[in-house]
Chain A
Amino acid sequence: MSEYVLPRHQEGRIAVVTGATQGIGRAIALRLAAEGARVGVNGRADTEQMREVVELTGGFPVVADMADAASVRSAFATVEQEQGVVDVLVCNAAYMSMSPILEHPLDDWWRNIDTNLTGTYRCVQSVLPGMRRTGRGNIIVITSEWGVVGWPNATAYASSKAGLIALTKSLGRELAPENITVNAVAPGIIDTPQLQVDADDAGLTLEEMHQQYGAEIPAGRIGRPEEIAGTVALLARPGLKAFVGQVLSANGGSTRARA
């Protein structure tokens, strides 16, 4: 591939990407900004990392903890007040912890659900009245290959991600008649800081984890955050109404992981 010029699909639109300070979320924020969007960069706290993404995107910070209802709702209210109605919502923020089920502390188990699944519900509820007023919107949920196939020691995370798939399908049906699309991307193994959790669980170094995963993927490598960002950007295109409640599996051909 050469000289592929990024389309400016997001010119004049406002996007909010949750969990955008690193990894996949950061790449999504940069991609939507490159396509012309003004991007709200969400993180749990105002950090150096967040400020860097805000600067790179020319966007604005959205400080909110997905696990905290009041924090999410007030942050989105501020966004609408100060920036305008959100056109594109990307629910990417996630917490992941791994443990054999009997040893998994209950509060930590629930933190996966509260952040990933309930956090997404809160974000969608927050942007929906605005999208209804403008009569349009694109919501993209980042789920996971593990939400499709499950994974040992990841019961909490996989449950939250499988729940997101059902949420996407239901909301897709519910909101399509109102010209609001809801779809999901289910990334496979991607080169992000989150892979350290996998490495720790497997007792491997991060590099060893990369190699082991890469060998198991038909493409022969793990994915890049920019690839997931491209897939998200497709679903965020205004006027592309044909995707309704779909889950795109971007996983390098891991054939057991199709939603």
Chain B
Amino acid sequence: MSAAAPVAVVTGAASGIGAAVCRALEATGWTVVGVDMRRPDHLAHSFVCDVSDPHAVKAAFARIEAEIGAVGALVTAAGHYEFAPIGEITEDQWSRMMRVHIGGLLNPLRAVLPGMIERQDGAVVAISSELGIGGTESEAHYSAAKGAILGLVRSLGSEVAGHNVRVNAVAPGPTDTPLLPAAQRTPEYLASLPARALGQPEDIAQAVQFLVDEGGFCFGEVMSPNMGAVI
């Protein structure tokens, strides 16, 4: 963890990948602050906040910086999933998908980047999805939102690299979390994956932890711990 900015903020911290990331970053010494729609009961520090709401995010991060400490790492894992053929996606559904995923990265970024640039040190990891790379049927809005995250990460990754701020993405494949659709738990589906199994939240957390704590000369990179779903 960063001595000057010992706080790691994880959105979507209450369950699944976000919760596993919290555990991994606590293990390497970060003061982890969870942000979620419902209070993550496994953390000492947490804020209830809708990441798609820029005002709420701004207020939450102001309190985090004032009450807990400077944010040296940001992981955006808050997500929203639904299955819908393109003709049935309503304006509201489309908009919600964009606001949660793209806004869920953009809003926290705007809160933490100035400090990271000033300190010339920081790490941001956005959780995307294999669907943002490969896409699939009846998930156009989810895929589009997750793909947009990759465009943002790649552009911003090179934009702030010179300040030693490492912005990267992790694009999981089918992972054993509450968000996973039932169709991806069937034996037929699992047999179609090269690794023949679902990924575990801890797998994703390991990739995130590496990008936060080391980085390995990755700036604007997309890592895909996806069980071979997209190669």
Q: Convert B208-231 into 0s and 1s, putting 1 for each residue whose CB lies closer than 8 angstroms to a CB of A.
A: 001001111111111111111001
Q: Which residue on A lies nearest to B3, using beta carbons?
A: A2
Contact yes or no, A252 B199, CB < 8 A: no
Contact yes or no, A4 B158, CB < 8 A: no
- Given the contacts A173-B194, A173-B231, A242-B199, A227 and B225 also touching, CB distance less than 8 Å: no
- Which single member of A190, A218, A227, A245 contacts B220 (CB below 8 Å)? A218
Complex Cα–Cα for A243 and B171 (A): 11
Contact yes or no, A230 B216, CB < 8 A: yes
- Which single member of A1, A250, A253 contacts B158 (CB below 8 Å)? A253
- Given the contacts A177-B194, A177-B196, A218-B157, A234 and B217 also touching, CB distance less than 8 Å: no
Q: Which residue on A lies nearest to B228, using beta carbons?
A: A244
B191 CB to closest chain A CB, in angstroms?
A: 10
Q: With contacts defined as CB atoms under 8 Å apart, how many contacts are there between chain A and chain B in the complex?
A: 139
- CB neighbors of A among B1-49 (8 A): 1-3, 28-29
Collect the chain A residues with CB atoms within 8 Å of residue B197's CB: 241
Number of interface residues of A (CB under 8 A): 41
- Which single member of B194, B204, B217, B231 contacts A251 (CB below 8 Å)? B217
- CB neighbors of B among A191-235 (8 A): 217-220, 223-224, 227-228, 230-231, 234
**B79 touches A (CB below 8 Å):** no
Contact yes or no, A234 B162, CB < 8 A: no
Collect the chain A residues with CB atoms within 8 Å of residue B199's CB: 241-242
Contact yes or no, B231 A218, CB < 8 A: no
A83 CB to closest chain B CB, in angstroms?
A: 27
Contact yes or no, B161 A176, CB < 8 A: no
Contact yes or no, A220 B231, CB < 8 A: no
- CB neighbors of B among A159-212 (8 A): 169, 172-173, 176-177, 187-188, 190
Chain B residues within 8 Å of A, Cβ to Cβ: 1-3, 28-29, 121, 154-155, 157-159, 161-162, 164, 172-173, 194-197, 199-200, 203-204, 206-207, 210, 213-228, 231
